[in-house]
Amino acid sequence: MSTFKDQHLAEIEARAAVAAELQCDVRALVATVRRLQQENERLRALGELPTAEVLSAALVERIRQDIRAELGVPNVAAAGVVEGEFAANLRRLRHAAGLTQEKLADRCGVARETIASLEVGMRTNPTMETAVAIARALRCRVDDLV
């Protein structure tokens, strides 16, 4: 009987831990909204109040940035990603994530040579599975690579 009670208590503790994490996430989002409201008030005082569409886009982007920062996702823009340059984008994002070719290959389940040949442009068309695995390992979207 005590094992059932122990299991039940462990489940309750696990749920409490998840609830605490969600509260932290909500607090971070509330802080972001407050910062945006303060910026809105500043702009209003200067007579430079942006449209609702601009504010919505800014809010969405700011929340994305905060969530990416919280999760440790590399900043794609700061990494210098250029559309249409898979090899350079892969190299830049790998460096931004602080990974070696070997470490990235291990995370993707491919050979290091695969990563190396993609980075130097010897292979220009990775399979969709490889591209998705690389994007997951780098915590970015496949679109950020291509």
Phi–psi pair at 59, nearest 5 degrees: -65, -45
Number of separate domains in the chain: 2
pLDDT value at position 61?
A: 72
For residues 10 and 46, membership in a common domain is answered with yes
Going by pLDDT thresholds of 50, 70 and 90, the confidence category of residue 79 is low
Q: Are residues 94 and 59 in the same domain?
A: no
- The per-residue pLDDT of the chain, averaged, comes to 77
Say whether both 65 and 110 belong to one domain: no
What pLDDT, on the 0 to 100 scale, is given for residue 71?
A: 62
Domain boundaries, position 65 = 2-71
If asked whether residues 47 and 11 sit together in one domain, one would say yes
- Specify the pLDDT at position 110: 92
